[in-house]
Amino acid sequence: MEILYASLLGFFLFLVIYFLYNHKSGGNANHPPGNTGFPVIGETLEFLSIGWKGHPEKFIFDRIAKYSSNVFKTSLIGSPVVVFCGVNGNRFLFSNENKLVRVWYPHSLDKVFLTTTQTSTDEEGFKVRKFLPNLLKPVVLQGYIGLMDTNAHSYFVNYWEKKDMVVVLPLAKHYTFLLACRVLMSIDDPNLVALLEKPFAILFKGVVSIPIDLPGTPLNRSIKASSFVKKELLVIIKKRKIDLAEGRASPTQDILSHIISTSDDNGNFMHEEDIAGKMVGLLVASHDNITSVCTCTVKYLAELREVYQGVYQEQLEIVKSKAPGELLNWEDIQKMKYSWNVACEVMRLAPPNQGAFREALMDFTYNGFSIPKGWKMYFNAFSTHINHDLFPEPQKFDPSRFEGLGPAPYTYVPFGGGPRMCPGKDFARLEILVFMHHLVKRFRWEKLIHDEKIVYNPFASLEKGLPIRLFPHEA
């Protein structure tokens, strides 16, 4: 009986908290319409489950219709959030970066990537972004093309050739992780790559989840995976510092060396554990998003024979222009215009990451609604990417949308926009195009699961990993 009374009391207290929470968050008529759901959990479960079922846009469009508004409030990943939709919402957030709003990351991200200085992830992310553009300029990126070409050739020889059937998603993950280790840290030891790669299957899933750190929860597993990776990276960092001091490594050989060798405005160098946290974040950024695009590109090329043929002909012309053994170069990449239009259309229909968060730096008004300082905001790519007013026949795959000047500003946002445009956009372009080049010059293919869906977990991927049957081109 005591257990029953305790349970009833607990349930009653939960209802009181739930009522007060929603009353507090929805009591001001000037705030955007919406529902923040249950405490802590909010509407996160619905947001995630809709993505798992392959209809992530439904969360956004259902609420736009329900509230008759392109701005509404909800609660995601442990925080009340105002969702900004449409071109105007994107324009407002991107054009007011570091004026009215700033980038914000869920607290779960701090738990996964927490540094020794205990600063938040957004502060540490700002420090990294200060020097990343210098490492990712076109003149620097040109030096990566030969490396990417060589690695892609070995990858396809080892994992694709002489196979009748492959499952694309895990192979694409391996491809992007191999290349990330090589470019970011000059690591090509297969045993070390395998040791680091295994935890990445679970590392980022916990960030976009219910923010509860208990044994067995996604967040808890993610924190453990991150700790393991950072421990191994510390060994690599310590060795690199010795190699730099003794002249066996160069400060400009890769991003790791650059971070180790670069001081802040006060002449202080980053702590080793902070560097490890930054490298985990960079590995995630250069791994999961590109994996998503590569996998979804294989799906669409399997379904759309005329699109595949256009990519194949473009890449075949480049193959014919090369001497035996000659590597791809910058000029070759510039010729891959149709192939990049195809990849862009893939990212329109299946943006690798649905959106990103911001935080209000001060009180302001948007569309007549009051947004108090400290409130969190979120933009979602689907609110414009599949809007029929912006993209006629939005569900139709049409690479010609990206010819000429391409989509109107703030309508196409897989890399964000404004000052927070992803600094790795051009790097991603190179990696995706080199992948497409090596794939289509070797094979045509067909899907083995006809109706396999694109799902979000949390990045865009294929429900069953996209098994395909390969048909090598005749020599």
Binding residues for heme: 422
> DSSP string covering 378-445, please?
EEETHHHHT-TTTSSSTTS--GGGGSTT-SPTTT--TT--GGGS-TTHHHHHHHHHHHHHHHHHHEEE
Strand partners, 470: 445
Q: Which pairing describes strands 79-84 and 376-380: parallel, antiparallel, or unpaired?
A: parallel
Q: For residues 358 and 93, what is the distance between their CA atoms, to the nearest angstrom?
A: 8
Q: In terms of C-beta density within 10 A (0-12 exposed, 13-18 middle, 19 or more buried), how is residue 318 classed?
A: middle
Which residue type occupies 79? S
Which residue type occupies 422? C
* Sequence-separated contacts (24+) of 217-225 with Cβ below 8 Å: 219/108, 219/111, 219/112, 222/108, 222/112, 223/111, 223/112, 225/199, 225/200
Which are the contacts of 470, defined by CB distance < 8 A and separation ≥ 6? 160, 163, 164, 165, 166, 443, 445
Distance of CA 456 to the CA centre of its chain: 11
Asked whether 289 and 459 are in contact (CB, 8 A), the reply is yes
Distances (CA, A) of 453 to 54, 299, 350: 6, 10, 11
Which are the contacts of 194, defined by CB distance < 8 A and separation ≥ 6? none
Asked whether 230 and 276 are in contact (CB, 8 A), the reply is yes
Q: For residues 446 and 471, what is the distance between their CA atoms, to the nearest angstrom?
A: 8
Token look-up 């006629």 returns 392
For residues 111, 173, 167 and 161, what is the CA-based torsion angle, rounded to 10 degrees?
-160
What are the binding residues? 422
> DSSP string covering 50-75, please?
HHHTT-THHHHHHHHHHHTSSEEEEE
Of 103, 141, 86, 105, nearest to 386 by C-alpha is 86
Q: What's the CA angle centered on 155, arms 150 and 157, to 5 degrees?
A: 100
Which residue type occupies 420? R
Which residue type occupies 205? K
